[in-house]
Amino acid sequence: MSTFSGLNAAYSGLVAARQGLDVVGQNIVNAGTEGYTRQRVQTSAVGALGASTSFSLPRPGDGVAVTGIARLGDVYLDDRVQAALGQSSYWNTMSTIRDGLEASLNEPGENGLSSQLHSFWGAWQDLANQSGESAPASVLLEQGRVLASQIADGYHNAQAQWSSTRAQAEGMVGTLNATAEQIARLNGQIRSTIAAGGSANELIDQRSVLVEQASALAGATVVYNDDNTVNVIVGGSPLVAGTTARQLQLSGASTMEAAAADPVALVWSHRPAQPVPLDAGQLGAALAAMAPAATDGSRSGGAIAEQAEMYNRMATALADAVNPVHEGGVTPGGSPGGPFFAVASAGPAALGLSVVPSDVSQIATALPGEGGKGGGNADLIAQIGAQPGSPDDLWAGFVVATGVATSAADQQYKLSSQATTIAQNLRSSQSAVDTDEELTNMLALQRAYQGAARVMTAVDEALDVLINHMGLVGR
């Protein structure tokens, strides 16, 4: 019996070594597969089936048993990567949005609003030196119209970026919902596979990749359940609970102007009145950027709406700065000056800004009592841009603030990206496939297989002698 037991022990060694080689092969061929976590065969020694007696020699064990295939991952490192991804994705999206807003200012440069303001004040100075002349008056009127048009274009750019961001956010929500459905389905497959005694390592890898996508989209976190499923938490509530996935949707206005009264928010589809608070992920950044402008002038609202509001303030500031001075002067014909700029009473001020005079006869270039050819009033208007609190100062302050905010977002993205890289590298050192290590393991397992085969050969030869050659000596 002991000889046959040795044959069985050698066979178990062959099986274990072959299983180990299969796993090494799986590791090597998946070395470049995204999200793959290296695996190892788990083995344990099999004890002797029967106890030794005083009339027998001690019994050795009955070989080796494969007890499982371990996935060499670390949930704590996975959690660290997910948290870092949520932050880096947030700042990547915010940095992209702010970079776009800053680029649309065209500052500094000849196409920026500050350059156009300078040209506008310069046209007033030229008219002051040639009061009553149609040529400099035409240039002034054209400069005023270009200035109004440039303010309107800036507002339109903000509108377009807001609409684009909302459309992208809709796509993110759709992707997040689809990801949640896949995670819930994998939860069920993993649970049933492990319960049946199988290996679900590849399914767990697929689920981990999807969880990271949810983290990048919405800063999702994970809770691990005893039945090998996971809950995915978004905004403090479960997006996935075991094999059940909940759906999200965007609520709120579809235009930037309407969003001031009905802000865009992420809500649960089954409870649309309950917003989902987000402070991480691409969706979190998009929602923050689309928030309404602050009503107290602190510029603490959404980046896009704040930029649009600045163009409204610029339109109003121009009219408030120029119109009182222009109304205090007289035209070449001696009539009192009227408003130079008009601002629509309804709708965005930036889109309602227009130049009222149509020719030189309606421009109040002179001061009262100066005579129709005087240019004193035009000279006063030309100096507005150099005065404290002018529209130029307002715009310059906004450009500086935008540059600072953009730089801060870019820096935050760089720091959070570095944190993500560090977390991913730490995890890779634990779970990524090292082909050199796998080749070493392959050689060791190959030797183990050969050794077990040699044991089987030796036992087979011993059995052959015992069965076929006992009693033949001396015949």
CB atoms under 10 Å from CB of 263, counted, come to: 18
pLDDT tens digits, 292-350: 988 777 777 899 999 999 999 999 999 999 999 999 999 888 889 899 999 988 889 99
Nearest to 174 by CA among 213, 128, 135: 213
CB 193, CB 185: distance < 8 Å: no
Contact residues for 250 (Cβ-Cβ < 8 A; gap 6+) = 166, 169, 170, 173, 264, 265, 266, 267
Task: Give the pLDDT of residue 456.
Answer: 81
- In terms of pLDDT, which residue wins out, 468 or 357? 357
Same domain, 83 and 200: yes
Same domain, 145 and 14: no
Sheet arrangement for strand 244-245: 221-224, 230-234, 237-241, 244-245
Same domain, 20 and 35: yes
Q: Which three-class secondary structure state does DSSP give residue 337?
A: coil
Of 22-31, 410-419, 459-468, the range with the lowest mean pLDDT is 459-468
Task: Give the pLDDT of residue 49.
Answer: 66
Tell me, yes or no, whether 259 lies in a domain. Answer: yes
Task: Give the pLDDT of residue 118.
Answer: 94
How much of the chain, in percent, has pLDDT values that exceed 90? 68
pLDDT tens digits, 430-450: 888 999 998 999 999 899 889
Tell me, yes or no, whether 96 lies in a domain. Answer: yes
Tell me, yes or no, whether 329 lies in a domain. Answer: no
Q: At 234, which helix (H) or strand (E)?
A: strand 230-234
pLDDT tens digits, 213-230: 999 999 999 999 999 999
CB 221, CB 83: distance < 8 Å: yes
Q: Terminal CA-to-CA distance of the chain, rounded, Å?
A: 27
Torsion of CA 455, 456, 462, 463, to 10 degrees: 160
Same domain, 112 and 260: yes
Residue with token string 């044991």: 455
Tell me, yes or no, whether 18 lies in a domain. Answer: yes
Same domain, 33 and 90: no
Domain that holds residue 25: 2-72+434-469
**b/e map 105-131, b = 16+ CB within 10 Å:** bbbeeeebbbebbebbbebbbbbbeeb
Task: Give the pLDDT of residue 1.
Answer: 43
pLDDT tens digits, 151-209: 999 999 999 999 999 999 999 999 999 999 999 999 999 999 999 999 999 999 999 99
Same domain, 202 and 261: yes
Give φ, ψ of 307 to 5 degrees.
Answer: -70, -40
- Please, which pLDDT band fits residue 369 given cuts at 50, 70 and 90? confident
Tell me, yes or no, whether 344 lies in a domain. Answer: no
pLDDT, mean over the chain:
90
Same domain, 43 and 91: no
Same domain, 59 and 121: no
Tell me, yes or no, whether 316 lies in a domain. Answer: no
Nearest 5°: the CA angle 443, 449, 451 is: 105
Same domain, 55 and 176: no
- Please, which pLDDT band fits residue 362 given cuts at 50, 70 and 90? very high
Tell me, yes or no, whether 350 lies in a domain. Answer: no
**b/e map 302-341, b = 16+ CB within 10 Å:** bbbbbbbbbbbbbbbbbbebbbebbeebbbbeeeebeebb
Same domain, 83 and 65: no
Tell me, yes or no, whether 37 lies in a domain. Answer: yes
CB 408, CB 98: distance < 8 Å: no
Q: Which three-class secondary structure state does DSSP give residue 38?
A: coil
Nearest 5°: the CA angle 388, 394, 399 is: 130
Task: Give the pLDDT of residue 467.
Answer: 76
Same domain, 8 and 144: no
Same domain, 86 and 21: no
Q: How many domains does the chain have?
A: 2
Give φ, ψ of 72 to 5 degrees.
Answer: -85, 55
Please give the model's pTM, rounded to 2 decimal places.
Answer: 0.87
